[in-house]
Amino acid sequence: MSTTVITFGTFDVFHVGHLRILERARASGDRLVVGVSTDQLNIAKKGRPPVYTQDERAEIVRALRCVDKVFFEESLEQKADYIRDYSADILVMGDDWAGRFDDLSALCEIIYLTRTPAISTTEVIEKIRL
């Protein structure tokens, strides 16, 4: 039986930390489904719109060899619904979220992967600004 992995993120100003977590998420199973957060969700979450639109971010993520399916994550509260909708067996999150999704462990296995050190979208934006 094939194992479906699901993960979530903004993936704005796509960088190597994003690529590595997606590749590692895919390596945790046979099929990788990625929830790309909407522009609206980002404005609500971070107080600013992403640099790239949700359609552009989704197009980049969809083009990756390790990604099988992309959908838009409309709300942070709907992870359980998304896990069910996509029949996910494993939820992968970066360890900046460690412990935060343990309540979903009745639905699927939860794996927190170590983030790639010293890179983030915020840092890249800061670097370009300087």
Q: Which residues bind ligand CTP (CB under 6 A)?
A: 9-11, 17-18, 21, 93-94, 96, 115-116, 119-122
Q: Min. distance of Cβ 71 from ligand CTP in angstroms?
A: 15
Which residues have CB under 8 Å from 117's CB, separation 6+?
A: none
- The residue sitting closest to ligand CTP, measured at its beta carbon, is 94
Indicate the residue among 12 and 89 with the shorter CB distance to ligand CTP. 12
Which residues have CB under 8 Å from 3's CB, separation 6+?
A: 28, 29, 30, 31, 89, 90
Q: Min. distance of Cβ 1 from ligand CTP in angstroms?
A: 26
Indicate the residue among 9 and 29 with the shorter CB distance to ligand CTP. 9
Q: Min. distance of Cβ 44 from ligand CTP in angstroms?
A: 14
**How many C-beta neighbours within 10 Å does residue 35 have?**
24
Q: Min. distance of Cβ 126 from ligand CTP in angstroms?
A: 9
Indicate the residue among 1 and 48 with the shorter CB distance to ligand CTP. 48
AA identity, residue 4: T
Three-state secondary structure readout of 60-111: HHHCCCCCCEEEEECCHHHHHHHHHHCCCCEEEEEHHHCCCCHHHCCCCEEE
Indicate the residue among 66 and 119 with the shorter CB distance to ligand CTP. 119
